[in-house]
Amino acid sequence: MRQEIVSRLVAAMKPAQLDAVVTSSPENFAYLNGFVVPSQPLIRHRHAMSVVTADGKTALFAVDMEATTVRARAPDTPLQIWAEFTDSAMAKLAQQLTGLGLASATIGIEMDYLPAGDFAALAALLPKAQWKPAEALLARLRQIKTKDEIALLRRLSRIADQAIADSLAAVHAGSSEMDIAAALTRGVYALGAEHFKLMIVATGERSQLPNVGPSERKLQTRDVCRVEIFTVISGYQAGVCRTAVVSQAPAHAERIWAHLVECKYMIMDMIKPGASAHAVYRAFLAKLALMNLPPISFVGHGIGLHLHEEPYIGTNPYIGRDDDAILETGMVLGIEPLCYRTGHGFGMQNKDLFLVTETGCELLSDYTNTDKLLVVKG
C-alpha cells in the first residue's frame, strides 16, 4: 500500500475512535493502493477491499478472478482471496478480520458503497464488532493531495487539455461531432492516458445540453462547440472543458465569453488557503448577474478519484452538508465558469483544474490559452 496515505489514515483513526478501516469502493482501493482492480467498478459484487488497522497493519481482500492482478500490483501486502461462485464473500472477509484480531473491534466501513445485504451479513458474522461509517473520514483525507497525486493530476490535466485542442484543430466546418470524438479518443491515448470518462461533444444548439456525447451532427460556420473529457490514470481523473467557434463567433458569443474569462480570473484571485467556498460562489453569481446570465448551482468542486469530490463550491453541497468549506493548501479543484442557457441558442463553458498553493493557486490545465475563444477552421 501507499505508505504516506496509510500513515494519514492511521493518524485519523485515533480521534475517530476506530480500531481499523475497511474500504469497499474502487476509489478508496485506488487511494490506498495506487491502482484500480479492473472489474470492480463494472461488477459491484466483485469486492476488492483494503484493511488498515490503527497500529498500521495492512491487508487486501479480492475476488479470485482478479487475484493475479492484485498480487502483481501489491506483492508485499497480505491478500485474502474469495472464490466468486463458491464462497460467501462476507464469510471470507469475516475470517480475515478475525485473523487480524478485529472480531470485537470498532471498524470503519464505507456504508455508502457496500450493499446493504452484504453489510447485514457481515455484521451478523461478527456480532461483537461495532461498525461506524468511514466514508466522510476517507473523503476528508482525499481532499488534501500528496505530491504524487498532484503530479499525476497535473499530467492528466495537460493530457486532457492538449487532446481537446488537437481534436478541434483536426476538424473543420462539415466535420461531425463524431470526428471530434475520434480525434479526441486517439489523442487521449497517444498522450498517455489509460482511458477516459464522460466525453462531452456538444455543438450548435446542442451546446446548451449539459452532458451529451457526440452525435452525427455536422459542424457549421458560427457554431459554438463545447468539448469536455475526463482523462484517467490509476483511477485518478482530470476533467477539462474548452469552448470553440467554427470559423467565426455568432452574435453575443465573444461578449459572453469575455465575461466568463473575467469570472475565471476573479475566482483565481480568490482561491487561496483560508478562502470561503461560499464566498467564491457568491462572487461568481454576482458576476453572472451583471450580464443577466442565469445562475447555476455550483462553479467548482474537488476532483481526484471521483468526477466530483468535496469541497463543493456552490449552493448544493453533498447531502447533509450545508456548512461552508474552507480552502486548504493541497486541494485540487475543478473550476468551471459556465452558462448553458445564454439566451442566444448556445452554451459556453471553460473548465480547468487548479491546485491550492500556500500563497494562492496554480493552473494545472495550462496547455491552452483560453482568454479568447478557440477557432475551428471554416
Share of the chain above pLDDT 90, in %: 96
pLDDT recorded at residue 315: 74
Q: Tell the burial category of 75 from Cβ atoms under 10 Å away from its Cβ (0-12, 13-18, 19+).
A: exposed
Mean pLDDT throughout 55-60? 98
- Average pLDDT of the chain to the nearest whole number: 96
208: CB partners within 8 A, 6+ apart: 202, 340, 341, 342, 345, 346, 347
**Residue where the block lists cell 480568490:** 270
Asked if 136 and 25 touch (Cβ cutoff 8 Å), the reply is no
Using CA atoms, how far apart are residues 372 and 256, in angstroms rounded to an integer? 11
Is the pLDDT at 258 greater than 50, yes or no?
yes
Given a contact cutoff of 8 angstroms between Cβ atoms, the answer to whether 209 and 340 are in contact is yes
Write out the three cell numbers for 84.
466468486
d(CA 336, CA 36): 27
Cis peptide bond prior to 311, omega within 30° of 0: yes
Residue 338, SS3 per DSSP: strand
- Give the integer Cα–Cα distance in Å for 234 and 177: 28
Q: How far apart are CA 346 and CA 325, in angstroms?
A: 32
Phi/psi of residue 354, nearest 5 degrees: -125, 140
For the chain, the C-alpha Rg in angstroms (whole number) is 23
Tell me the pLDDT band of 317, cut-offs 50, 70 and 90. Answer: very low
Cell of residue 93, nine digits? 472477509
Give the separation between CA 147 and CA 371, rounded to whole angstroms: 29
Q: What are phi and psi of 197, to 5 degrees?
A: -130, 155
Q: What is the DSSP pairing of strand 374-376 with strand 236-246?
A: parallel
Q: What is the pLDDT of residues 149-191, one digit of tens each?
A: 999 999 999 999 999 999 999 999 999 999 999 999 999 999 9
Describe the chain by its helix, strand, coil percentages, rounded to 5: 35, 25, 40
Q: What is the mean pLDDT of residues 212-219?
A: 98
Cell numbers found for residue 52: 488498515
pLDDT band at 322 (very low <50, low <70, confident <90, very high): low
* CA–CA dist 246, 218 (Å, integer): 11
Please answer whether residues 226 and 181 qualify as being in contact, where contact means their C-beta atoms are separated by less than 8 angstroms: no
Q: Determine the average pLDDT of the residues in 55-81.
A: 98
- CB count within 10 Å of CB 32 equals 23
pTM (2 d.p.): 0.95
d(CA 91, CA 260) in angstroms, rounded, equals 55
Average pLDDT over residues 75-94: 97
The C-alpha cell of 131 is what? 461498525
Distance CA(336)–CA(160), nearest Å, equals 15
Q: 126-135 burial string, b = 16+ CB within 10 Å, else e? A: beebebeebb
Contact predicate 256/348, CB 8 Å:
yes
Percent of residues, the chain, with pLDDT higher than 70:
98
Contacts of 135-139 with C-beta under 8 Å, sequence gap 24+, read 135/110, 135/111, 137/12, 137/16, 137/18, 137/21, 137/108, 138/9, 138/21, 138/23, 138/28, 138/31, 138/110, 139/309, 139/310
